[in-house]
Amino acid sequence: MVDITTKILALLLLPPGVIIVVALLGFIIQIRRVIMGNVIVALSVVALLILSLPFTGAQLTQAIESRFPPVGLNVTKEPGKQAGAIVILGGGRYTDAREYGVGDSVNRLTLERLRYGARLHRLTGLPILVTGGAPYGEAVPEAVLMQAVLAQDFRVKAKWVESNSGTTYENARLTKTILEPAGVKCVYLVTHASHMPRAAWAFEAAGFATNPAPVGFITLDKQERDALGYFPSIDGLYRSSSALREHLGLVWYRYKYGWVEPAAATSLSTGC
């Protein structure tokens, strides 16, 4: 089970939660110190405006995504990187997906990972492991949902299902208990590009040689590059919040697991 306390703290430390907290603090300070309170409220509004710009969200995200480039289409020809399996990390569930029948399904983030994992499977012929549990006590683990979507929508069978993990760190540790007896020491790791630094480190720390296979890179469309990228939007705030969440996640990993940032983007991936 996931510690709900850490989730609540993350909501308070990330936008828009942290901005709301600071703004409320400003209103309270106004009672005794009007000028200081007004300054804090004004800075909160400015921060919200800046973080709501699609351009800001893209820049914050690309600072993380740039550490691991896309695998490309020549994965079967890369020397020294003969992985033994493809590991796809769960990215969340779509609760009560009524258009697909009764029960839950995978959300769009997980679907993007499954799509790319299926593509890698067809390019390499490697078997797939899906990983994701039921951290909040859901009836069906996320990995089981992933297995079903792979089979039904992509006509690909997942050879292994790890369904007990609740965090990225547990994804890696419990995946090892499945793949180590099968003799798999190197994997292609599929997750979103912004999540890859934490995920790759966790799998390397678990003892895997990891070939990162990131998906879902943030890009600005033509309108955003020309003008709309400098106007606040919900999408811009979502991108900024997601990027800052990953930065906060790395800080948490440094505190809890002793994560150390590599000197270069390639140092986490030693190949096979």
213-to-14, 70, 185, 191, 225 alpha-carbon distances in Å:
27, 6, 16, 7, 27
pLDDT value of position 13: 72
pLDDT tens for 76-93 read: 545 445 789 999 999 999
Question: Would you say residue 96 has pLDDT above 80?
Answer: yes
Superfamily name with CATH number, domain 70-216 = HUPs (3.40.50.620)
B/e letters for 162-184, b = 16+ CB within 10 Å, e = fewer, are bbbbbbbbbbbbbbbebbeeeeb
Per-residue pLDDT band for 188 (boundaries 50, 70, 90) equals very high
- State the pLDDT at residue 263: 45
Of the pLDDT bands very low, low, confident and very high (cuts 50, 70, 90), residue 216 is very high
Sketch the domain layout of the chain as residue ranges: 4-51, 70-216
User: Token digits for 97?
Assistant: 């997906």
Residues β-bridged to residue 209: 186
pLDDT of res. 202: 94
Q: List the structure tokens of 150.
A: 């792979």
Higher pLDDT, 7 or 62: 62
- The stretch 39-51 carries a mean pLDDT of 89
